[in-house]
Amino acid sequence: MEVLIAFLVGGLAAVGVYLMLRPHLIQFLIGFLVLGNAANLLIFTAGRLGSQSPPLVQRDGSLLETIANPLPQALILTAIVIGFGLAAFGIVLFYKAEQALGTLNAEAMPEVFEPAPAPSPVDQVRAPTPEKERIPV
């Protein structure tokens, strides 16, 4: 079982990394979700698999002979919630970026130019460059 899941994790990680390396930002986001799931499955497997024993403490406070470890689930739950928040923020960020910069292609996005460049008289005499192409010196 562990071996199977290990291959699954590897496959998901490969898919995720491949998608994250694509220039399109939506592909990047899907890649992040896939890679995040690979990480979650990895934590799950690292906490030992097994369906026979419950993660319960008995009423008198004593432990069963074999007991499942509930901590990996708690960790994964935290990671899922965080991943969900990040993905939600990412969608809005990419949407705003598309609106402002006119592209979702990360490679076509301009390098950081001077924050709010104030047009100086010198620049206006020379060929006026459109705002988007004003790339730093």
Site residues, other proteins (CB under 8 A)? 20, 25, 28, 32, 35-36, 39, 42-43, 45-47, 71-72, 75, 78-79, 82, 85-86, 89-90, 93-94, 96-97, 100-101, 106, 109-118, 120-122, 131-132, 136-137
DSSP lists the bridge partners of residue 105 as 24
DSSP lists the bridge partners of residue 63 as 57
* 8 or 20: CB nearest other proteins: 20
Nearest distance in Å: CB 59, other proteins: 20
* 64 or 88: CB nearest other proteins: 88
Nearest distance in Å: CB 102, other proteins: 10
* Helix, strand, coil tally for the chain in percent (to 5): 60, 5, 35
Radius of gyration over every alpha carbon of the chain, rounded to an integer in angstroms: 24
Nearest distance in Å: CB 54, other proteins: 19
Distant-in-sequence, close-in-space partners of 126: CB < 8 Å, separation ≥ 6? none
* 65 or 118: CB nearest other proteins: 118
Instruction: Please tell me the distance from the alpha carbon of residue 122 to that of residue 57, in angstroms, as a whole number.
Output: 77
Say if residues 28 and 106 touch (Cβ distance below 8 Å): yes
Nearest distance in Å: CB 100, other proteins: 5
